Amino acid sequence: MAVDSDQDPRILRQHVALFQSQAENTTEKKMDLYNLSNYTFSMKDQQEEKDQTSTAFLQRLRDRFELEGTRKTVEAILLVHQHNHPHVLLLQLGNNHFKLPGGRCRAGEDELSCLRRKLSKKLSPPNQYSQPAWEIGEVLGCYWRPNFEQHMYPYLPPHITKPKECCKLFIVHLPEKCIFAVPRNYKLLAVPLFEFHENSKRYGSVIASIPQILSRFHMNCMMHGI
């Protein structure tokens, strides 16, 4: 498990200056972010992915669609700050597979219960007394997979009557301090917000849209220890 937030300090300073100037003149909803150094990171037992390739995932999606219909998934946007710039916590599996924490809702399971279950599975320590109290906020986006393809869209095309997947993104407010435990075969990355912009080739279209999704918020970077 690793937390990756090393970026060129000059680039970070430029983005921080722009971010702060925008924040001073905004009336958007405020969101408090705590410093990455506030959090403790550890490892836990390995968790195998059901699909090792995108082709395998799409085939499983096709198989389950025949039995269950539209796949419903929920994912969490978890924010911290480093160098006074917002960073998003991402899971990395292998060299090029990045994902937000979350997953598929079980039959009859409500979205919030599913997201809490998935967050605990991927990020909570095994000790139940150390598990974070996941404070799930509002839905920030809804994405649709019209066909058995990789592409997802922030709208449902009007000619699609049987979408293959619906994915909702929730903001999850982190406490000032908590302990994360990540499966040994994953890495947990803290990626600066600017890294996603127009970078769908590396992160995919959903993750690449996060800067736009969050642009209506005033990010309040809390000082360390406050």
Whole-number pLDDT of residue 208: 97
Whole-number pLDDT of residue 96: 85
The residues, ordered by sequence, that sit 6+ positions from 11 with a Cβ below 8 Å of its Cβ are 194
User: For residue 24, what pLDDT band results from cuts at 50, 70 and 90?
Assistant: low
Q: What is the pTM (predicted TM-score) of this model? A: 0.86
Taking 80 as the threshold, does the pLDDT of residue 10 lie above it? no
**What average pLDDT score do residues 62-78 get?**
96
State both tokens at 19.
């971010």
Of all residues in the chain, what percent carry a pLDDT higher than 70?
85
Taking 50 as the threshold, does the pLDDT of residue 90 lie above it? yes
| Top-ranked range on mean pLDDT: pick from 1-15, 16-30, 190-204 | 190-204
Cα 206 from Cα 101, distance rounded (Å) = 13
Cα 173 from Cα 135, distance rounded (Å) = 5
Cα 112 from Cα 144, distance rounded (Å) = 19
Taking 70 as the threshold, does the pLDDT of residue 158 lie above it? yes
Whole-number pLDDT of residue 223: 80
Taking 60 as the threshold, does the pLDDT of residue 6 lie above it? no
CB distance 217 to 88 below 8 Å:
no
User: For residue 8, what pLDDT band results from cuts at 50, 70 and 90?
Assistant: low
User: For residue 226, what pLDDT band results from cuts at 50, 70 and 90?
Assistant: very low
* Cα 135 to Cα 132, 138, 169, distances in angstroms: 9, 10, 14
CB distance 167 to 113 below 8 Å:
no
92: left (phi over 0), alpha (psi -120 to 50) or beta: beta
Cα 181 from Cα 59, distance rounded (Å) = 31
Cα 183 from Cα 48, distance rounded (Å) = 9
Matching residue, tokens 């302990």: 179
CB distance 9 to 83 below 8 Å:
yes
Whole-number pLDDT of residue 205: 93
